[in-house]
Amino acid sequence: MRGTIKTISDAELTLIKKLSRGKNSPYDPKKPKKPKAVWVCAASRFPEWQNEYVGSVKEAYDGETQKVDDAKVREVLQKKGLLKGKRAMLFVQLFKVNL
């Protein structure tokens, strides 16, 4: 949530700078502000293609060190034939960050 709020504030500051240079914009952040709202959507489960990658990360997770072995993840994905997808390792890396 903090990141979203920061993004909104940064966008408003950038817009104020542009307006001070004389550029036009349909939105004026200096006018009386309406309350801001953010919708947060959460899924109860991953899509099917992501479930297979999550399972591979679980297999490579070491409970003692609480880390994921990248080489083992690649090995498991290769055995399942999932390493071909462009988004495979990108999703795995982002998933590991969120662990």
pLDDT along the chain (99 residues), means of 10: 84 83 74 72 86 86 84 86 78 82
User: Quick one: CA torsion of 93, 94, 95, 99, rounded to 10 degrees?
Assistant: 100
The 10 Å Cβ neighbour count of residue 68 is 19
Query: What's the predicted TM-score (pTM) here?
Result: 0.54
How do the domains of the chain map onto residue ranges?
A: 1-42, 48-98
What is the pLDDT at residue 63?
80
Helix (H) or strand (E) holding 61: strand 61-62
Torsion angles phi and psi, residue 39, rounded to 5? -95, 130
What is the pLDDT at residue 87?
76
What is the pLDDT at residue 34?
67
